[in-house]
Amino acid sequence: MSSFEKLVKLACKPKGAAPKSKYVDPLVSATYADDGSIHDICRALAPRFKEPNAMIVFKALIVLHSMIRQGQTDNVLKYLASSDVLRLRNVSNGQWDGYMAPQNIAHYAMYLDCRVRTYKDLKHDAIRVQSESNRDRSSADDDGPSARPLQRNKTVMGRKLRVMTVEKGLLRETKMVQRLTDSLLECKVPSHSIFVRPVPTGPIAFSSTMTASRTNST
């Protein structure tokens, strides 16, 4: 068993608690390497998406989302866009200990799959581009008039849809972003969920993490 397989196994243990950072952080750090680490991690994650235990599947989705959100986003999405090793669209087709797939897990998997497909079509991550632009602008506002002006590449990317023309692909890009937004909005948190503790793994303040029976995430 490789070190990545061991980390993935420990991060996805079927316990009602969020994946521990001591297991997730090394996986996130590995996304910055160009030595095939992402391939090895995804190969270790793949069997977890076929598990009948919903807790294991949900944790595997959180690990993958953490790699995308906190790691080298382009490296992860570029690999996933070129490989179907995880088969996220098939998560809802698994056998769940004799029950149907929990809707929230299926929606979460479909959102991540949609994000990968959107990256494949647009050649960039629309969520990352906008969040970085917003963060840079917020930092500039906090620093006041003395703040350094935003780099041109950041300001242009942050308002890409505003300045893009129809000839340059505005309608196509808008359609892809709308599809991504729709898939994200499907990830609703039911009021009866039993939360153990919050884990910031979603693009919109992921306040939900692990639930004992029915869980949801964005």
Dump pLDDT digits (tens) for 5-47: 999 999 999 988 899 999 999 999 999 999 999 999 999 999 9
Q: Evaluate if pTM is beyond 0.85.
A: no
Average the pLDDT over 186-190 and give the result. 75
Tell me, letter by letter, the H, E, C secondary structure of the chain. CCHHHHHHHHHCCCCCCCCCHHHHHHHHHHCCCCCCHHHHHHHHHHHHHHCCCHHHHHHHHHHHHHHHHHCCHHHHHHHHHHCCCCCHHHHHHCCECCECCCHHHHHHHHHHHHHHHHHHHHCCCHHHHHHHHHHHHHHHHHHHHHCCCCCHHHHHHHCHHHHCCCCCCHHHHHHHHHHHHHHHHCCCCCCCCCCCCCCCCCCCCCCCCCCCCCCCCC
Question: Per-residue confidence at 215, pLDDT binned at 50, 70, 90?
Answer: very low
Give, as one character, the DSSP assignment of residue 32.
T
Per-residue pLDDT tens over the stretch 189-199: 665 543 444 44
On average, the pLDDT of the chain sits at 78
Per-residue pLDDT tens over the stretch 105-126: 999 999 999 999 999 998 889 8
Q: Does domain 3-185 have CATH number 1.25.40.90?
A: yes
Position with higher pLDDT, 111 vs 202:
111
Question: Per-residue confidence at 93, pLDDT binned at 50, 70, 90?
Answer: confident
Position with higher pLDDT, 150 vs 213:
150
- Give yes or no for residue 201 having a pLDDT over 50: no
Please give the full DSSP string across 176-196, using - where no structure is assigned.
Answer: HHHHHHHHHHT----TT----
